Amino acid sequence: GPSRNDAPVIDPHYLETEHDRATFRMALKRARMVGHHAALDEWRDTEILPGAPVQSDAELNAFIARAASTHHHPAGTCRMGRDTEAVVDPDLRLNGFDNAFVVDASVMPAIPSGPINAAIVAIAETWAASSRATPSSA
Kindly name the residue from 13, 37, 71, 73 that is annotated as catalytic. Answer: 73
User: Is 13 designated active site?
Assistant: no
SS3 of the chain: CCCCCCCCCCCCCCCCCHHHHHHHHHHHHHHHHHHCCHHHCCCCCCCCCCCCCCCCHHHHHHHHHHHCCCCCCCCCCCCECCCCCCCECCCCEECCCCCCECCCHHHCCCCCCCCHHHHHHHHHHHHHHHHHHCHHHC
Q: Which residues are catalytic?
A: 73
